Structure 1
C-alpha cells in the first residue's frame, strides 16, 4: 500500500516545460533553485521561500530554468481535506519550512508511515492549508491568444535592455492600440504593469540562484536606478530584495 503522504526530494537538471496532473494533493516547492509554474492562464516562480498547493487532478505546467532541488510533498486525498482552492501560490513561513525539512525522510514506498511521520505530515498539511488562504501577489499572466503569449515572451526576453511596447506590437503583427486592448481583455493589466511584474520575478530568480549583488540584479532586469528597483520590489512582495533573499536561507 502506497504511503498516505510522502516527500518528493530530487535534484533535477534544467528542463523545458512539461504538463503534469497527479491524483494527489500536491505541495510543490524547492529547497534550492527555482521552479516555474504555469496554470489557469497565469505564471509563477517558486524559489525556496514560496510554494504552490495544487488540488488532485488539477493540470499544471512546470519548467526548470536552472538546476533545482525539489522539496515537495504529495498527500493522499483521503489523508487531507481538499485545499482551499484548486491552485494557490503562497509564501512559506519558518514553521512550514521546518516541517518540510523534517518530512524529507519519508519518500514514496509501500511501507506505512510511522505514527510520528503521520503527525508530521498532518501538521504540515494544517499549516500549509492555512497559508494557502493568503495567496502571493507575485504572479504574471500567461496569456490566452497566440499574439499575447508571443508578446509576453518577447517582453521577457528583452527585460535586460530597452523594451518598447511599439516594438513588441510590431513583432506580433498588431497595432499598439490593438495589443493594449488584448492585454486589458486577457490579463486585466496594462503592458507596463506586466513588465514591472516580470522584472520583479526575474529578480527573484536571480536572488534565489546565488549571491549576485542586488545592485547588479537591478541592472540585469532592466532598472537603471536601485531605488526604483527596491520600491517596485517592495510594492509587489512587501519586502526589500535583501530581505526576500534572506527568506530563502535556512
Structure 2
C-alpha cells in the first residue's frame, strides 16, 4: 500500500497548457515562477509563496508561461476530508510553510508513514484546508461561451497597448451593447474591470519572472501612469507591487 500522503519537488520548463487530474487531493505550492490553473469558468494565477488546493478527481488545466518550481503534497482521500472547493489558490501562512518544508522528507514510497510523519501531514492538511477557505483574489473569469472566451483571449493578447471595447466587439462579431451584456452575464464583471484585473495578473507574472523594475512592468501591461498602476494593483491584492514581489521570498 502506498503512503497516505507524500511530498515531492519538481522543476518545469515553460510549456503549453495541459490537463491534470489525479486520484488524490493535491496541494500544489509555487516556489519560483507563476502557473495558471483553469477549472470550470475561472482561471487562477499561482505565483510564488502561494498554494493551490485541488480536489481529487477534479480536472484542472495547467499552463506554464514561464519556468517554474513547485513543491507538492498528495493526500489519500481517506486521510483527509474533501477540500472546501474543487480548486482554490491562497496565501501560505508561516506555519503552513514550515509544515510543508518538514513534510518534504517523505516522498512517494510503499513504506508506511511513521506516526510523527502522519501527524505532520495531518497538521499540514488542517492548516491549508482552513487557509483555502479564504481564497486569493488573483482569479479571472474564463467565460462560459466560446464567444466570450474569444473576447477574453483577444483582450489578453493586447494588454500592453491601447485597446478599445469596440475593437473587441468587432473582433467577436457583436454590437458593443450585446457584448457588454455577455460580460455581465458570464463573468459578473464589466469588460473594463476584467481588463484591469488581467493587467494586474499579468504584472504579477512579470514580477515573479525577474527583477524587472516596476515602472517597466507597468508600461508592459498597458499603464502609462505608475500611480494608476499602483492603485489598481493595491486595490486587487492589498499590497503595492514592490510589497507583493517581496512576499515571493518570505
Q: TM-score, normalised by structure 2?
A: 0.96
1:97 Cα deviation after fit: 1.8
The corresponding residue for 2:93 is: 93
1:144 Cα deviation after fit: 1.3
The corresponding residue for 2:21 is: 21
> How many Å separate the matches in 2 of 1:170 and 1:62?
30
The corresponding residue for 1:73 is: 73
Secondary structure of the structure 2 residue equivalent to 1:7: strand
The one-character-per-residue Cα deviations of 1:66-118 (angstroms, maximum 9, x if unpaired) are: 11111111111111111122222211112212222222222222122223322
User: Is the contact between residue 16 and residue 63 of structure 1 (CA under 8 Å) also seen in structure 2?
Assistant: yes
Alignment of 1:1-250 (within 5 A): 1-250=1-250
Task: Please give the root-mean-square deviation of Cα atoms over the aligned residues, in Å.
Answer: 1.2
> How many Å separate the matches in 1 of 2:186 and 2:238?
26
1:30 Cα deviation after fit: 1.3
> How many Å separate the matches in 2 of 1:209 and 1:186?
31
Secondary structure of the structure 1 residue equivalent to 2:19: strand
1:234 Cα deviation after fit: 0.8
> How many Å separate the matches in 2 of 1:248 and 1:189?
28
1:235 Cα deviation after fit: 0.7
Secondary structure of the structure 2 residue equivalent to 1:10: strand
1:23 Cα deviation after fit: 1.1
> How many Å separate the matches in 2 of 1:129 and 1:117?
18
Q: TM-score, normalised by structure 1?
A: 0.96
Secondary structure of the structure 1 residue equivalent to 2:38: strand
1:220 Cα deviation after fit: 0.9
1:177 Cα deviation after fit: 1.2
> How many Å separate the matches in 2 of 1:104 and 1:226?
41
Q: Tell me whether 168-177 or 187-196 shows the greater mean CA deviation.
A: 168-177
> How many Å separate the matches in 1 of 2:248 and 2:181?
38
1:171 Cα deviation after fit: 1.2
Secondary structure of the structure 1 residue equivalent to 2:83: coil
Count of aligned positions:
250
Q: Which runs of 5+ in 1 are unaligned?
A: none
User: Is the contact between residue 35 and residue 46 of structure 1 (CA under 8 Å) also seen in structure 2?
Assistant: yes
User: Is the contact between residue 29 and residue 35 of structure 1 (CA under 8 Å) also seen in structure 2?
Assistant: no
1:206 Cα deviation after fit: 0.8
1:29 Cα deviation after fit: 2.1
> How many Å separate the matches in 2 of 1:98 and 1:205?
25
